[in-house]
Structure 1
């Protein structure tokens, strides 16, 4: 980061007098820029979580909800584009790309993948703040996120974190509920063990860990106990999918 950019951030920090209270996740591997952005946002009353790479990002989105995400594209262990594509269904907040990739093609790619905005580095901090506020004003005027998921006889209440099959309550652990939610978000779709591992554990699958198989097995038994409901089907070597049973057990 050059001296001019640094000076702009320092100036923005010095003149902060706002109190926004936004919860923001920053995904940025630039060790000089990241602290400046964090301080700039915190001076405006934001609570900022920080991830320096894709692995930390995956953990961060599993453990907390955010009002907005600011994400770099080029990361040491991942691509911001790939992360957005992979976790798009899990993110319930605006995402702004902040990247040195300045070509029109890169910007179009980011927006087509679902980003709400794309800013090219070096960015003026006041422009970034204006973009953040514009996105969060838009979210505030939109309809609230869905409070539940339904698939056939399965109903999931995301607020109370309860699940029902044919109005019968499922006694699920926290891990089992999280896993069922992932399946219900993409019903009848084949989900690979690698995908489930990243979503559930927050890191890449090493090919040996059987934790996903064990959790799927426990969840499957609870679903199978209710007739004419839903079941997790496995395709050897490929993964799992959630389907209705249509009376067959």
Structure 2
């Protein structure tokens, strides 16, 4: 049975949005209470299946993950979803061997804490990981998908040599699509990434922004052969795909 649950921070301000992957309900409750008291909005996933849904539909500032789960391995999940995880990740596990800790860090985790852990130490590690993440430059200053190139430093996008005249919000939207090309992204996920709050089921701002971005992509890609296009699947979401044409 799924036990995913969103726990909102008290008050109007949310400091961090955190995904907690932990199957021990008692421990999860203690961590949740501690983080919510510190103005965090926490989404709790108790197994790998819930984690996969959470990664697809929401954006997080940080992930705390157990390693041993009832239906998956935290190590394998991190390796599988490395491209979708664009935030710091901390492993919190009862596995205490040096080998396990080295494995977690080599997979790309920002830290590895052994249970039981003092919650104040966990909080210090969370803030340290987020500070380091904010100061790091992009690992690669550009993203390429087919004929599309996105420069993350200059914030310019091109299809072949044709520059896309994008607004700041349109660039951010295209960046999200280019991070996960061909993957179907739900309206809820895009709304959360772009607007910064949960989708209420009514707001059409994402549809409007995608429509404008599509028109600009179509204008630049028309007649150049290979291009990129945003496909939509009714009721499910959108995806960025490469197209082939004749010069």
TM range (shorter): 0.5 to 0.7
In the alignment, does 2:68 pair up with 1:74? yes
In the alignment, does 2:202 pair up with 1:182? no
In the alignment, does 2:226 pair up with 1:229? yes
Which of 89, 95, 99 is 1:101 aligned to? 95
Asked whether the 8 Å contact 2:226–2:246 carries over to 1, the reply is: no
Q: How is 1:95-244 mapped onto 2 (pairs within 5 angstroms)?
A: 95-143=89-137, 149-155=143-149, 165-166=159-160, 167=162, 181-183=179-181, 227-229=224-226
Cα separation, 2, equivalents of 1:122 and 1:183: 39
User: Normalising by the residue count of structure 2, what TM-score does the alignment of the two structures yield?
Assistant: 0.60
The 3 A distance-change label for structure 1 pair 77 and 21 is: same
TM-superposed CA distance for 1:164, in Å, is 6.5
Partner of 1:214: none
Partner of 1:34: 28
Q: Any gaps of 5 or more consecutive residues in structure 2? A: 1-12, 165-174, 187-217, 229-240
The alignment covers a number of residue pairs equal to 185
Match of 2:144, SS state, is: strand
TM-superposed CA distance for 1:248, in Å, is 6.7
Partner of 1:12: none
Q: How is 1:52-71 mapped onto 2 (pairs within 5 angstroms)?
A: 52-71=46-65
Asked whether the 8 Å contact 2:143–2:178 carries over to 1, the reply is: no
- Once the two structures are superposed, residues 94-136 of structure 1 have per-residue CA deviations (whole angstroms, 9 ceiling, x without a partner) of 1000001111111111111111110111111111111111111
User: Normalising by the residue count of structure 1, what TM-score does the alignment of the two structures yield?
Assistant: 0.59
Structure whose CA Rg is larger: 1
Asked whether the 8 Å contact 1:92–1:145 carries over to 2, the reply is: no
TM-superposed CA distance for 1:23, in Å, is 1.1
Bigger shift: residues 145-154 or 19-28? 145-154
TM-superposed CA distance for 1:64, in Å, is 1.7
Match of 2:96, SS state, is: coil
Give the root-mean-square deviation of aligned CA atoms: 4.1
TM-superposed CA distance for 1:157, in Å, is 8.8
Cα separation, 2, equivalents of 1:29 and 1:67: 21
Partner of 1:210: none
Cα separation, 1, equivalents of 2:20 and 2:107: 18
Match of 2:64, SS state, is: strand
